[in-house]
Amino acid sequence: MFWFTKKQKPFIAALPEKHSKGVLDINSATWQYVVERATDEIKKARFKNDNPNLSDNQTAIIRGRIKAFKSVIAWPEDRKGILNR
């Protein structure tokens, strides 16, 4: 996967309650585990979502899980949204 590419700088994560900084090292074995686990959960949720007998609410819940796991995987990406300008 992407962790075999060139080494990147760690992502600095501020902790709001203590105003100290933590570091998310995307090259660490821990982060690789998180990404692999989240990817597996996305695959499982997509498989469940293919069930034609699900209600609209059940489908929405599964899609919400997929979106949440994708959000976790995207933490290191440098994104500038309307609130971050």
The pLDDT tens digits of the residues spanning 24-71 come to 788 888 899 999 999 999 999 999 999 999 999 999 999 999 999 999
Q: Decide which of 11 and 34 is more confident.
A: 34
Length of the chain equals 85
Encoded amino acid at 9, one letter: K
Residues 6+ apart with CB under 8 A from 39: 69, 73
- pLDDT at position 23: 72
**pLDDT value at residue 25:** 84
Maximal CA-CA distance, the chain: 48
Query: Confidence band (pLDDT; 50, 70, 90) for 11?
Result: low
User: For 30, which DSSP code?
Assistant: H
This prediction's pTM: 0.66
